[in-house]
Amino acid sequence: MDRSYRHISVDPVAPAIGAAVSGVDLSRPLPDEVFSEIEQAFHDHIALFFREQVLSPNQQVAFAARFGPIGHYPFAEPVDGNPDVIAIIKEAHQTTNFGGIWHTDTAYLDCPSMGSMLYARQVPSVGGDTMWSNMYAAYGALSGGMKKLLSGLSGVNSAAKNKDALRMNHLEDGAMTGKDADHMDEQMAVHPIVRTHPQTGRKSLYISEAHTICFDGMTRAESAPILDYLFAHAIKEEFTCRFRWTENTLAVWDNRCALHYPLNDYHGYRREMHRVTLQGDKPA
């Protein structure tokens, strides 16, 4: 999107989604006019990347709080000294990475997270990229008939779907501290398959291969053909970007209109990220 900024520089990393933001030091309090431009870029590009930012956990939380109230991820303990930050770590000996499937965070909550903020403390010398996909674009590319069909459907989202591969094997292997794993099977929520963004007013697909198990009122077998099509459609190359991490890079993205996928191609290397969750509201 061609937009002029007075206080920051915004450079898209791909046509569909993602932009690198420079000219700002996130370790310091930001004037309102500077944050206003960051927020506009957030709505325009969905995922923002800030390189060369030296941040403490408290400074990361302070920046996150400019977007809105801080939320919490229910199945991991926070880092020592800050209840709002969790450490996402893959040790060199591990082969499973945390969240290693296309997803939007916490779709299984009644009020899923509005966004997520991830800060790179240690990254592998090769590999470990993350991909994002634009769900506005994915919805817009559907046929009129499919849009009409989906307009009346809601999805059932479960924390337990893929839990063995995505969470508990990793949490139990010593790199992260898990909690309340016995409640994963109970954590479910129903949300519209097509949601309207409360700020932009735009419609997007709201599905997650990691969490959406069926359409509300339908069986899994009945739902599978359409859901499988949507899962594949949502991550078409033209909707995505791929981002190469460097240490001290911070990313923030909008879970209401994006999927993301951390690649697991760096066995033998250690990776440590700090995540802050942004509180959301009930999808509509």
Q: Which of 45, 260, 271, 274 does the annotation list as catalytic?
A: 260
Question: For residue 283, which of 212, 223, 210 has the smallest C-alpha distance?
Answer: 212
Residue 260: active-site member: yes
User: Is residue 253 a part of any domain in this protein?
Assistant: yes
User: Is residue 75 a part of any domain in this protein?
Assistant: yes
What pLDDT is recorded for position 168?
Answer: 46
User: Is residue 34 a part of any domain in this protein?
Assistant: yes
Residue 275: active-site member: yes
- Within a 10 A sphere around the Cβ of 268, how many other Cβ atoms? 11
What pLDDT is recorded for position 73?
Answer: 87
CATH number of the domain within which 141 lies:
3.60.130.10
Q: Is the pLDDT of residue 131 over 90?
A: yes
What is the residue range of 113's domain? 9-278
What pLDDT is recorded for position 96?
Answer: 86
Q: Into how many domains does the chain fold?
A: 1
What pLDDT is recorded for position 75?
Answer: 78
Q: Is the pLDDT of residue 183 over 60?
A: no
Residue 267: active-site member: no
User: Is residue 260 a part of any domain in this protein?
Assistant: yes
User: Is residue 284 a part of any domain in this protein?
Assistant: no
What does the pLDDT look like over 23-54, one tens digit per residue? 999 999 999 999 999 999 999 999 999 999 99
Question: For residue 264, which of 135, 88, 107 has the smallest C-alpha distance?
Answer: 88
Q: Which of 167, 170, 211, 275 does the annotation list as catalytic?
A: 275
User: Is residue 1 a part of any domain in this protein?
Assistant: no
Burial 110-127 (b: 16+ CB within 10 A, else e): eebbbbbbbbbbebbeeb
What pLDDT is recorded for position 180?
Answer: 47
What pLDDT is recorded for position 117?
Answer: 98
C-alpha distance from residue 253 to each of 164, 178, 257, 258, 275 (Å): 26, 24, 9, 8, 12
User: Is residue 39 a part of any domain in this protein?
Assistant: yes
User: Is residue 107 a part of any domain in this protein?
Assistant: yes
Tokens standing for residue 4: 């002029």
Q: Is the pLDDT of residue 186 over 80?
A: no
Q: Which of 45, 105, 170, 256 does the annotation list as catalytic?
A: 105
Residue 105: active-site member: yes
Q: Which of 45, 84, 103, 195 does the annotation list as catalytic?
A: 103
pTM: 0.93
